[in-house]
Homo-oligomer: A and B are copies of this chain.
């Protein structure tokens, strides 16, 4: 029986990865040919791609293979949702070392399958190649189902700024892992959610299309840190964004994680993680006043001007740059 990818071979690996992915009504022709054919009911397709590299975006000692599969799918589907679209199909490129245990690929595949089920999307294709480190590239396709694409550029002064999905937990979780805090201590402190969210961010599926229907004027997925991402809306829309720090209600476990991290020299409050932490894959959007749908928390407003402020003041530098 094959125990490493090298034993399995390229075609064996492809067969193993694509096997047992359920198809959906959006799939006209699934994996196995030169290309797939996916439905685009309103004559438009939303498309986005992210690449995850071992070391930079995940560590095998911090995340199980299944977590990496979940995360790779989640962060791409969050980008589709952020346009106001519904994820329909994914293509997955998997670059793996020849000595990688087949069990890793099986775990990864299971994570992909489970997250696809949560997102309502199907895997329709991909590629497998050999490389020294694991790298995963995911393309997600989506359908606007006749609705409006919500870009970053439509925010207007007077709009409310709102978020849905947990903020700050992923960054706190990464800091817990980087600080070497034992999982038992995390559990005991009630901060388990931070590790979970770092390993398997859970985008609020369905919230994107609902926000579009509610009249969102601008929307994006929070991947680089809330303030940095709101800066993209400010710039694209030609407006200023002001965030009210007191409006940031920490998700369960975040205050506990911050308190635990204080003992490891990280003296930041829960709100700091919410403002600057990355890889949340929550959604942030601007809505006309009164149009904010249920499930979204208003955290600030759009004003005339430019840039992002917190309580009217310039925030400290934040966010991260993978090349910095």
Q: Which residues of A contact B (CB under 8 A)?
A: 5-6, 8-11, 13, 28-29, 32-53, 56-57, 79-80, 82-83, 85, 89, 91-95, 98, 124-133, 135, 137, 139-142, 144, 149, 151-152, 219-221, 236, 321-324
Contact = CB atoms under 8 A, between A and B. Distances in A.
A281 to B, nearest CB: 11
Contact of A79 (B35, B43, B48, B57): B35
Contacts of A220: 33-34
Contact of A43 (B6, B40, B322): B40
Given A51-B137, A127-B50, A324 B45 contact: no
A133 B92 CA distance: 19
How many identical chains are in the complex?
Answer: 2
B56 A127 contact: no
A133 B46 CA distance: 30
Given A9-B323, A47-B38, A323-B130, A151 B33 contact: yes
B47 A139 contact: yes
A112 B98 CA distance: 29
Contacts of A46: 35-38
Contacts of A139: 47, 49, 91, 139
A28 B44 contact: yes
Contact of A47 (B80, B85, B141): B141
23 contacts: A9-B323, A10-B322, A13-B323, A33-B152, A35-B47, A36-B48, A37-B44, A37-B45, A37-B149, A38-B44, A39-B45, A40-B40, A40-B45, A45-B45, A45-B141, A53-B95, A93-B137, A98-B323, A127-B137, A128-B323, A130-B323, A132-B133, A139-B139
Contacts of A324: 9-10
Given A9-B323, A137-B49, A41 B38 contact: no
A29 to B, nearest CB: 6
Contacts of A83: 33-35, 37
B323 A29 contact: no
Contacts of A135: 51, 95, 131, 135
A213 to B, nearest CB: 17
Contacts of A6: 323
B130 A132 contact: no
Contact of A49 (B50, B125, B142, B221): B125
B28 A48 contact: no
> Looking at A13, A33, A39, A83, which has the most chain B CB atoms within 10 Å of its CB?
A33
